[in-house]
Amino acid sequence: WCVPCLVSLDTLQELCRKEKLTCKSIGITKRNLNNYEVEYLCDYKVVKDMEYYLVKWKGWPNSTNTWEPLQNLKCPLLLQQFLNDKHNYLSQVKKGKAIIPKDNNKTLKPAIARYIVKKAKQRIALQKWQDELNRRKNHKGMIFVENTVDLEGPPTDFYYINEYKPAPGISLVNEVTFGCSCTDCFFEKCCPTEAGVVLAYNKNQQIKIPPGTPIYECNSRCQCGPDCPNRIVQKGTQYSLCIFRTSNGCGWGVKTLVKIKRMSFVMEYVGEVITSEEAERRGQLYDNKGITYLFDLDYESDEFTVDAARYGNVSHFVNHSCDPNLQVFNVFIDNLDTRLPRIALFSTRTIYAGEELTFDYQMKGSGDTSSDSVDHSPARKRVRTVCRCGAVTCRGYLN
Ligand SMILES: [Zn+2]
Ligand SMILES: [Zn+2]
Ligand SMILES: [Zn+2]
Ligand SMILES: [Zn+2]
């Protein structure tokens, strides 16, 4: 029998220390049973011209917090964070034109201390989430998480996946694939030719085909090695990206931390693969935000939809723009079933470090820019979400 424990490791460690118990499997040994490491600082006061900070000890419950004189603290970073958070809180209050009660400089207002503790806890939670994302991802680029805007923590109902998660009854490997035997896939009649299209990439790994044209990459049956110029999407995201809290009310967004050349592969759009009937059903249940995660695979049929609401990768957090810097392409690699293309996002221009990544939710799928090729489902047309992308060409609504 095995019963999963719902309590966090931190809580278990705190309990152990409180009860003076050692337990190797949760990292509490005789050696470190009485270790004290500052987790964060909670409060500040001055007594007889001495400065004190209230310390939350890592792995210890709040009841063991202690006031420590400033000169005892060996945590310059945490101290700096405390002062920054205090400063930010005060400047926010100022912006709100509220009257700040006169600080006597001897103690902190309880509201400030509460904010600082919330901020410290949020920082720890986001760091944990960032570690988890990087443990789960199987591509080269790192994932960072940043919120300097509000107190929002990690999403509670989101699970990171690297590839499509097919719903029961949907098979993503139901076709025997053709494999090429080129000595040089760039010059020879390779997998794309076999599928009746041209090679999608130039020698610099940039996409050179127009939107709406499918990509056929080399696959597991091909004789070529991993350096084949026709293996790009399958290698996954190469860039370090950051999931960050936007300051314009768009929730989380994604920015690149490095320069991305134009026409380069940035990320795949993954999620649960469901039937369009199921998508219709979910569309009725979802709110405006949930609906935007539904992505119709309408390359050649409209049988399937990708739902990235609960299961997804970084693309889950990429915001919509009416003037986007990413463009959608349909990709076939080990599954040649034209009803089930993979969705890859490529840069449409040079994107500089720090810029937010966006794609046009309305141009999902076929790349048909002319009309309402996306929205077959009446459920999605009924609710309209106001667009805040800020582009000159903004259409005003997300759907
Ligand atoms: Zn080849
Ligand atoms: Zn090939
Ligand atoms: Zn190849
Ligand atoms: Zn817009």
Tokens coding 350? 């040079």
Of 127-141, 298-312, 340-354, 361-375, the one with minimum mean pLDDT is 361-375
Ligand closest to 189 (CA) is 1
Q: Ligand 4: distance of its center to the CA of 153 in Å?
A: 26
Across the chain, where does the E strand assignment appear? Answer: 38-47, 50-57, 66-69, 143-146, 159-160, 165-166, 215-216, 241-245, 252-256, 265-269, 272-275, 294-297, 304-307, 311-312, 319-320, 326-332, 342-347, 356-359
In the predicted model, is pLDDT for residue 365 greater than 50? no
CB neighbour list of residue 355: distance below 8 Å, 6 or more residues apart? 255, 256, 325
CA-based nearest residue to 85, from 66, 57, 58, 111: 111
Whole-number pLDDT of residue 346: 98
Catalytic residues: 269, 361
CA-based nearest residue to 276, from 164, 170, 161: 170
Whole-number pLDDT of residue 104: 63
Asked whether 52 and 69 are in contact (CB, 8 A), the reply is yes
Tokens coding 149? 């805007």
Q: Tens digits of per-residue pLDDT, 217-238?
A: 999 999 999 999 999 999 999 9
Ligand closest to 333 (CA) is 2
Q: Ligand 3: distance of its center to the CA of 163 in Å?
A: 21
Q: How far apart are CA 196 and CA 65, in angstroms?
A: 69
Asked whether 229 and 201 are in contact (CB, 8 A), the reply is yes
Ion ligand 3, residue ranges at CB < 5 A: 185, 218, 222, 224, 228, 230
CA-based nearest residue to 117, from 177, 227, 194, 39: 39
Ion ligand 1, residue ranges at CB < 5 A: 180, 182, 185, 190
CA-based nearest residue to 88, from 11, 165, 151, 4: 151
To which H or E segment does residue 327 belong? strand 326-332
Q: Tens digits of per-residue pLDDT, 107-133?
A: 999 999 999 999 999 999 999 999 999
Q: At which residue do the structure tokens 């926010």 appear?
A: 92
Whole-number pLDDT of residue 375: 42
Q: Tens digits of per-residue pLDDT, 18-41?
A: 888 898 888 888 888 887 899 999
CA-based nearest residue to 254, from 133, 123, 375, 81: 133
Q: Ligand 4: distance of its center to the CA of 190 in Å?
A: 40
Q: How far apart are CA 151 and CA 145, in angstroms?
A: 13
The structural domains of the chain, ordered by start, are 1-34 (no CATH), 36-132 (2.40.50.40), 140-359 (2.170.270.10)
In the predicted model, is pLDDT for residue 87 greater than 90? yes
CA-based nearest residue to 58, from 5, 106, 9: 9
Question: Residue 142 is which amino acid?
Answer: M
Question: Residue 1 is which amino acid?
Answer: W
Asked whether 271 and 316 are in contact (CB, 8 A), the reply is yes
To which H or E segment does residue 129 belong? helix 110-136
Sheet holding 294-297, edge to edge: 165-166, 272-275, 304-307, 294-297
Ligand closest to 218 (CA) is 2
Q: Ligand 3: distance of its center to the CA of 162 in Å?
A: 22
CA distances for 350 relative to 149, 331, 353, angstroms: 27, 22, 10
Tokens coding 54? 């209230």
Q: How far apart are CA 258 and CA 354, in angstroms?
A: 7
Angle at 164 between CA 163 and CA 165, to 5 degrees: 115
Annotated binding residues for Zn(2+), written as ranges, equal 180, 182, 185, 190-191, 218, 222, 224, 228, 322, 387, 389, 394
For the chain, the average pLDDT equals 90
Whole-number pLDDT of residue 203: 96
Q: Ligand 2: distance of its center to the CA of 216 in Å?
A: 9
**Between 137 and 97, whose confidence is greater?**
137
